Structure 1
Amino acid sequence: MDRISVLGMSSVSALGSNPKAVWSSYADEKPCFSVIQSNQAEVAVAGVSKTIDAALKQIAQQNSNYKRLDRTVLMAIKAARGSLQNLALDGKWGVNIGSSRGATDLFERYYADFLKNGSAHTLASPTTTLGNVSTWVAQDLQLKAMSLAHSVTCASAMHAVLNGIAWLGSGMADFMLVGGTEAPLTPFTIAQMQALNLYAKQTAGYACRALDLDKKSNTMVLGEAAATAILAKGTHKNAQGYIIGCGWGTEPLDHHTSLSKQAHCFQDSMKMALDSAGLNRVDAVVMHAPGTILGDRAEVHAIQAVFEESPYLISNKHLIGHTLGTSGMMSMELALMMLEHQQVFENPFYNQESDKPASLETVLVNAVGFGGNAVSIILCR
């Protein structure tokens, strides 16, 4: 495939909201979890800091329309501003930001108000539609861009990357702002994960035990985050890294949360990504690894089936939780940072089959969501 430049990448999460802070948080290797009361129980979550929360509230005050926007949109605006900072790019633009859940906070509050008063708020519909995420980002950046939002559950951000590659390849856009945003730390959203018996019961330390293949119960922890990147076709002097391969895969469903024990969708997506990059190996894989028993094991099985020698396996959800639709983009950011700093981090639970790579040249990133929709991309320096 044609090389795709990643010109600017920025995120907002429990790790921080600028590259230096994010990398420093990764280097600390400490879980970014706090404990909140939700649905009459204490649960671990990965929320942004008070400083970032104040910055989001400041954004909301900058425009009378912003006061009525959901937290997902405000986080996406902050991340997108960071991606475009110090870049002067002239051409045809597209904006594609995905989200698994969308406007969870506003939707839950508007619906509670409806049950109480029997009538809906005037702006309940336009401020809770998924499409308002990308359109408000484009408005904020004053981009006359094609604006597209979608939900492919936890693979939403990575599908935005695939869409960006396709739009650039078609010539319909010169630059694509792609990413994901998620603010799932709301009572009903947490309750949904608890109902599936996925949520971590532990609240201290490594509440999420992603890549612990011996755990006896599921340990998903929800986190909030937004992350965006600007993509352009070809080689650019401002590139932070390059996408040189991409792939996707699906598999027949046995259940609404289905993922086969061998994760055939991941096998297909990784093989396609390797083929498009002209490679048969990579130095490391930043895994989806949600902290569930089946999800973690199945992805490891898929990697073992695809690679003759296992790459070094990395995860970040034991530190930042599962940011649902944003999670793949957070993994992509980690991959780019590792390529830049030439450093990988050990998972505290997983017994690696290979040694730490002496140098990092290529990193594969995985993401998958309910419905068995897997995406794999390969990044290089």
Structure 2
Amino acid sequence: MKEEISITAVASISPLGELLEGAFEQYQQNTHCFVQRNYNNRDTWVASLPDNVWEKIKQLKNSDTKYKNLDDSVLYAIYASRKAIKTAGWSGGDNFGINIGSSRGATSLFEKFHAEYLKNGRTATLASPTTTLGNISSWVGHDLQTQGPDISHSITCSTALHSLLNGVAWIQAGMADKFLVGGSEAPLTPFTVSQLRALKIYTPAALSLSGQENPYPCKALDLTKKKNTMVLGEAASMACLEKGVSKNTVAIIKGVGYATEPLVHNVSISTDAVCFQRSMRMALGDISPDEVDVIVMHAPGTIKGDLSEIRAIEKVFCNKKPFLTTNKWKVGHTFGASGMLSLEMAILMLQKQKAIKVPYVSYESTPKTIQNVLVNAVGFGGNAVSILLSKLG
């Protein structure tokens, strides 16, 4: 990093709720946030927003006639973004940039409009403008009345951390002093679930994964599982980036790393995740691997995905692996928002000085102090991002 860039606020809505303190308390409980819904006449585990949060999203939708036609992914982003800049002490009209991404974008609206097209042979007037990916950041920019650039992108499941990379690049280039970055995903739709089932990576509907009763539908980071156990979740998560350090700083970005590896299959990465090896080494820079206390893994709950990331960590950290954790056993895989939820989890551990365990993983020890946390994300296409965060002071 050429200069210090700090995170001055994080805010999210997720299956954990909308409060940071509440999220940390939830992480201390060994219960997941999954519920069963029926998609395509099949019981399906998903992680949805709590009812009280969903009620606030409906209030937002009804607060402005223009918002009534927006997809949930846009509304989630608007709500979480308002919370983030309020916490950071930013005001509407400030010259800050926005980069919010999504893997799927306006999934629900797109499916609705496509069904109408198949039935009627024509589309609704607002079908195009409300389903473009770019409308997430542009609507957030409109809502916050910022004078800075509005950027949207989709880089599959590493989207949110790529938005952080972009924010860092703009600040280091001297083109902005502040950037709002994050990801938003509202993918709990029949077609999206069907796509994941077609890939054969979704968890079984039953609570039995290997002949024994199992209370965790998603077994992320469990290397003994015999079946893929990915569970889909919805969320929006944002972070406020600022040049330098301020009274609101909650964590320092010490390093960023990224890599893309040549693929042998459309959806797979190499058995030892070369992309993660490269991104983690880049994020570490001159910092010794021994100084990393915790890694928040991508760990989607698939057999190959979890194992390949573990092997990459073993390559980079050799015989001294940091404390390993993930939140997907709790909140599922939220696609383009997942990396920022992992970053939020990292900040909670830095603030509380307490490692968050995966309940069914055996740990030999936990770190007594937490100074540096590495956060990983990767998506289809082998595009990995690693962010190294440090505690202030």
* TM-score category of the 2 structures, normalised to the smaller one: over 0.9
Map Cα deviations across residues 234-282 of structure 1 (whole Å, 9 max, x no partner).
1111111111111011111111102110000000000000016566530
Aligned to 2:28: 27
Q: Which of 186, 190, 195 in structure 2 is aligned with 1:187?
A: 190
1:275 aligns with 2:285: yes
Q: Which amino acid in the other structure matches residue 108 of structure 2?
A: D
What SS is found at the alignment partner of 1:216? coil
Aligned to 1:7: 8
Matches of 2:4 and 2:360, distance apart in 1: 35
Aligned to 1:51: 52
Q: Which amino acid in the other structure matches residue 61 of structure 1?
A: N
Matches of 1:42 and 1:339, distance apart in 2: 38
Q: Which amino acid in the other structure matches residue 121 of structure 1?
A: A
Deviation at 1:121, TM superposition (A): 0.4
Q: Which of 133, 138, 143 in structure 2 is aligned with 1:140?
A: 143
Matches of 2:123 and 2:71, distance apart in 1: 16
Aligned to 1:305: 315
Q: Which of 277, 296, 307 in structure 1 is aligned with 2:306?
A: 296
Matches of 2:286 and 2:74, distance apart in 1: 34
Q: Which amino acid in the other structure matches residue 282 of structure 2?
A: M
Q: Which of 221, 229, 239 in structure 1 is aligned with 2:239?
A: 229
Gaps of 5+ in 2: 208-214
Query: Residues 30 and 134 (structure 1 numbering): CA distance in 2 closer, same or farther, change over 3 Å?
Result: same
Q: Which of 153, 158, 171 in structure 1 is aligned with 2:156?
A: 153
Matches of 1:106 and 1:372, distance apart in 2: 28
Matches of 1:101 and 1:356, distance apart in 2: 36
Matches of 1:263 and 1:279, distance apart in 2: 18
Query: Residues 244 and 26 (structure 1 numbering): CA distance in 2 closer, same or farther, change over 3 Å?
Result: same
Matches of 2:108 and 2:287, distance apart in 1: 40
Matches within 5 A, 1:28-107: 28-89=29-90, 92-107=95-110
What SS is found at the alignment partner of 1:226? strand
Matches within 5 A, 1:169-188: 169-188=172-191
Over the residues paired in the alignment, what is the CA RMSD in angstroms?
1.3
Aligned to 2:201: 198
Q: Which moved more, 1:364-373 or 1:83-92?
A: 83-92
Contact 2:158 2:379 in 1 (8 A): yes
Aligned to 1:319: 330
Matches of 1:86 and 1:325, distance apart in 2: 23
Q: Which amino acid in the other structure matches residue 74 of structure 1?
A: L
Matches of 1:337 and 1:351, distance apart in 2: 21
Aligned to 1:364: 374
What SS is found at the alignment partner of 1:243? strand
1:116 aligns with 2:119: yes
Matched pairs, number: 380
1:213 aligns with 2:216: no
Deviation at 1:39, TM superposition (A): 1.0
Q: Which amino acid in the other structure matches residue 77 of structure 1?
A: I
Contact 2:43 2:205 in 1 (8 A): no
Matches of 1:296 and 1:10, distance apart in 2: 27
TM-score by length of 1: 0.97
Q: Which amino acid in the other structure matches residue 336 of structure 1?
A: I
TM-score by length of 2: 0.94
Percent of aligned pairs with the same amino acid = 49
